[in-house]
C-alpha cells in the first residue's frame, strides 16, 4: 500500500532500511532523473536514505544506491560524538569548481571495502533544492566538497573508481573482486 501522508496511521511512518546496491548492479550506471517536486514521498525517501546511510555506516548516499533513480543526495559529516548534521541536496548541480585539486582516500557503500586516492577540485559551488523544496547554493571545500562530488557522480551513473587511471582502476577492482570471492567462500 502506498504511503499516504494524510492518513493518521501513516503520519508517524517509521523510516525503513533499504538495501544498498553493490557493483556490478547495472542500475548504478543509470543517470538519475530530476525530482519535479519535493513532496511527502520525497521527504520519506530522504528519511529512509539517512537511516540506511547511518546503518551502513556511511557519510553520504545517493538515491540511486538504494535503487531509486532520483537526483537526491544525503550527507552527514558529523563525528560519532557529535549530534547528527543532516544535509539534503535535491537536484544538485555543480555550477563552479576550482582549478586547484585535492586528494582524498574515497570509499563507497556500493563497492564495500575498496578505498583509493581520488583527486578532485578542492572547492566547488553547488546549486540545489533543500528538503522543503527551496532553492539553495553552497560553496564547499574539504571533505564536504569531496563527498558532494562523489555523490553527484552517482547521479550521473559514475563511481569513484571511474576517476582512477585505467590501470589503477583495473587493479583495484580485481583486488576487490578477489576479496569478495574469498569472503563468499
In whole angstroms, what is the distance from residue 10 CA to residue 181 CA? 42
Asked if residue 2 is part of any domain, the answer here is no
Residue 185: the pLDDT is 73
User: Annotated catalytic sites, by residue?
Assistant: 151
Residue (of 78, 45, 72) closest to 59 by Cα position: 78
Residue 14: the pLDDT is 62
> How many domains is the chain partitioned into structurally?
1
Residue 11: the pLDDT is 40
Asked if residue 80 is part of any domain, the answer here is yes
- With H, G, I as helix, E, B as strand and everything else as coil, classify residue 41: helix
CATH at 137: 3.90.45.10
pLDDT (tens, 9 = 90+) of the chain, 185 residues, equals 444 444 444 444 567 899 999 999 999 999 999 999 999 999 999 999 999 999 999 999 999 999 999 999 999 999 988 999 999 999 999 999 999 999 999 999 999 999 999 999 999 999 999 999 999 999 999 999 999 999 999 999 999 999 999 999 999 999 999 988 888 87
- CA angle at residue 120 from 163 to 83, to 5 degrees? 110
Asked if residue 139 is part of any domain, the answer here is yes
How many other CB atoms are there within 10 angstroms of residue 117's CB atom?
11
Residue 80: the pLDDT is 86
Whole-angstrom Cα Rg for the chain: 17
Asked if residue 174 is part of any domain, the answer here is yes
Asked if residue 167 is part of any domain, the answer here is yes
Residue 1: the pLDDT is 43
Identify the domain containing residue 158 by its residue range: 8-184
Asked if residue 1 is part of any domain, the answer here is no
Residue (of 90, 104, 107, 17) closest to 53 by Cα position: 17
Amino acid at each position: 500500500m502506498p504511503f499516504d501522508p494524510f492518513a493518521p496511521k501513516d503520519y508517524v511512518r517509521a523510516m525503513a532500511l533499504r538495501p544498498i546496491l553493490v557493483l556490478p548492479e547495472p542500475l548504478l550506471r543509470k543517470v538519475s532523473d530530476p525530482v519535479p517536486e519535493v513532496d511527502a514521498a520525497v521527504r520519506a525517501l530522504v528519511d529512509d536514505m539517512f537511516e540506511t546511510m547511518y546503518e551502513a555506516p556511511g557519510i553520504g548516499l545517493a538515491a540511486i544506491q538504494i535503487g531509486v533513480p532520483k537526483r537526491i543526495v544525503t550527507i552527514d559529516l558529523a563525528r560519532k560524538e557529535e549530534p547528527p548534521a543532516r544535509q539534503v541536496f535535491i537536484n544538485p548541480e555543480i555550477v563552479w569548481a576550482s582549478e586547484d585539486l585535492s586528494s582524498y582516500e574515497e570509499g563507497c557503500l556500493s563497492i564495500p571495502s575498496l578505498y583509493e586516492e581520488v583527486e578532485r577540485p578542492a572547492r566547488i559551488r553547488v546549486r540545489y533544492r533543500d528538503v522543503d523544496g527551496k532553492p539553495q547554493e553552497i560553496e564547499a571545500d574539504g571533505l564536504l566538497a569531496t563527498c558532494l562530488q562523489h555523490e553527484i557522480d552517482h547521479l550521473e551513473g559514475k563511481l569513484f573508481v571511474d576517476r582512477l587511471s585505467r590501470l589503477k582502476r583495473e587493479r583495484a577492482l580485481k583486488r576487490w573482486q578477489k576479496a569478495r570471492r574469498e569472503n563468499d567462500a
